[in-house]
Amino acid sequence: MAKHQPFLISIVLRGLKMARLYEYIGPDDIRLSVAAYPVGIRIKSVDALKSWINQTMQKPNTWGLIAATFVVDSEGYIRVADRHSEHIACAGGKSVLSAGEIFFAYNKQNFEVVEITNQSTGYCPEPESWSQVEKALEQIPLPHPGNFTTEFIFRRCPVCCQLNIVKDDLFLCAVCNTNLPKIWNCDC
């Protein structure tokens, strides 16, 4: 069986770069193992978020936060699933505008996003994908911190092909110590 060859798509409209769609670049065995899992619930309102929390019996963690896996689908909506879900399942196997983990708090009769990351080794979205997340959250509307509270920078090693998370602005492969490119290359 041929290996799935993911790639990065940029949407260009009338010469303006609009958004980047990230295809799944994680392991094929994960993609195949979750193919029949339910797609994440599209959240278009605070009521939809409340309904998902109640129907799936989400419970606050030690800090009183409800954690979830999220993606921003190609139409610009947030989809959420249980935090233990794979992003590829949440996205229904499709490309996304962003992905990560999101933490909701219930304050004074309403929900807000208090923590959010772009941590998804299946899609490896760039920190710049925040603009798509922000648009999706403001459609609901949900108060949010204004940026990813923790940002991850992903790079693939051009020598050993290992996926790396760049730490402390050190662009070195953790496996073979090769310099990593400054631009996103996770689809190679």
Q: Given this model, what pLDDT does residue 14 score?
A: 45
Q: Given this model, what pLDDT does residue 158 score?
A: 97
Q: Does position 3 have pLDDT exceeding 60, yes or no?
A: no
Q: Given this model, what pLDDT does residue 13 score?
A: 44
User: For every residue of the chain, which 3-state class applies, written as one string?
Assistant: CCCCCCCEEEEEECCEEEEEEECCCCCHHHHHHCCCCCCCEEECCHHHHHHHHHHCCCCCCCCCCEEEEEEEECCCCEEEEECCCCHHHHCCCCCEEEEEEEEEEEECCEEEEEEEECCCCCCCCCHHHHHHHHHHHHHCCCCCCCCCCECCEEEECCCCCCEEEEECCECECCCCCCECCCCCCCCC
Q: Given this model, what pLDDT does residue 188 score?
A: 75
Q: Given this model, what pLDDT does residue 172 score?
A: 97
pLDDT tens digit sequence for 113-128: 999 999 999 999 999 9
Q: Given this model, what pLDDT does residue 5 score?
A: 40
Q: Given this model, what pLDDT does residue 130 score?
A: 98
pLDDT tens digit sequence for 61-119: 999 999 999 999 999 999 999 999 999 999 999 999 999 999 999 987 899 999 999 99
Q: Does position 9 have pLDDT exceeding 50, yes or no?
A: no
pLDDT tens digit sequence for 12-61: 444 455 789 999 999 999 999 999 999 999 999 999 999 999 999 999 99
Q: Given this model, what pLDDT does residue 176 score?
A: 98
Q: Given this model, what pLDDT does residue 148 score?
A: 98
The ranges assigned to domains in the chain are 8-151, 157-188
Q: Does position 186 have pLDDT exceeding 60, yes or no?
A: yes
Q: Given this model, what pLDDT does residue 17 score?
A: 56
